[in-house]
Chain A
C-alpha cells in the first residue's frame, strides 16, 4: 500500500519558471490538502479539496493553483516561481469529510527557487 505519493522529491527552479507538484493517494480518500513547511513557520495550508472537482484556498494560497483531477490526484502548480516559495511541500489526505479522519502525509517535495 503506497499511501500518499508525491513527485518530484527535489526540484530547483529559477525565478519566473513554472512547475507542477503531483500528488496521488491510493486509499480512496475524499479530502486532500497541500501544505508548506518552513523553519519557524510550521505547517501552513495552501489549498485543500473536499472532494473530486472542488478546491478551496487555505491560509497561504497566493502564487499557487491546484487541480483535483480525480479522486486520487491533487496537483499544485506554481505559475511563476519566486524565492519566497522555496520550501518543503507536503500533500496529505484523509477519509471522509474535511479534517475528520486520520490524516496521512506524503514524503514531501523539496523546492528551491533561485
Chain B
C-alpha cells in the first residue's frame, strides 16, 4: 500500500527566503506526482505535475523535482512572499491517487 509523508507538518519563514518542501512515498512504481496548494476554506489548486519519466518541472518561482528511486519529491519555492502562505499537498498517482497530509507554510512579512 502506497504511503505518502510530508515533513514538516508546518513551516514558518521570513519573506524573501528560499525554501524546500518534502514529499516521500513508499512505492516507487508511480505514474506521476502532482503538487497542490490549498488556501484556508478553499479547494486544491494544481501547481505542478511531474510525469514518472521526468526529473523536474518549473513554473515561475516554483520548481518540483522527482527521484523515484529514493521515493522523494521536493517543491522549491524561490524568494518566498506572504501570498505563498498556504498548505501544500503532494499526490502520488498510479491506479489511484494517494495524498500526503500537507505542509502548512507561513511566510512572515
A103 and B43 contacting across the interface, CB-CB below 8 Å: no
Total contacts A to B, CB within 8 angstroms? 44
Interface centre among A42, A43, A92, A108 (most CB of B within 10 A): A43
A73-111: CB near B (< 8 Å → 1, else 0) gives 000000000000000001010000011101111111000
Q: Which of A43, A103, A106 contacts B46 (CB 8 A)?
A: A103
How many chain B residues touch A (Cβ–Cβ < 8 Å)? 22
**Complex CA–CA separation, A43 to B31 (angstroms):** 19
Nearest residue (CB) in A for B36 is A105
User: How many chain A residues have a CB neighbour from B under 8 Å?
Assistant: 17
Residue A45 at the chain B interface, CB threshold 8 Å: yes
Q: Which residue of A lies closest to B96 (CB)?
A: A99
Contact between chains at A99 and B94 (CB < 8 Å): yes
- Partner of B95 from A90, A98, A102, A105 at Cβ < 8 Å: A98
Docked-complex contact B31 and A99, CB < 8 angstroms: yes
| Residues of chain B whose beta carbon lies under 8 Å from any beta carbon of chain A | 31-32, 34, 36, 41-46, 49, 89, 91, 93-97, 99-102
| Chain A residues, CB < 8 A from B44 | 90, 92, 105
- Residues on A with C-beta less than 8 A from B91 are 103
> Is A102 a contact partner of B97 (Cβ separation < 8 A)?
no
Asked if A100 contacts B45 (CB within 8 A), the reply is no
**What residues of chain B lie closer than 8 Å to A102, measured between beta carbons?**
34, 46, 49
Closest to B97 in A: A99
Chain A residues with Cβ under 8 A from B49's Cβ? 102
Q: Is there contact, CB below 8 Å, between B46 and A100?
A: no
- A–B complex contacts, Cβ < 8 Å, 22 sampled: A4-B43, A33-B97, A42-B101, A42-B102, A45-B97, A90-B43, A90-B44, A92-B44, A99-B94, A99-B95, A99-B96, A99-B97, A100-B32, A102-B34, A102-B46, A103-B91, A103-B97, A105-B43, A105-B45, A106-B43, A107-B43, A108-B41
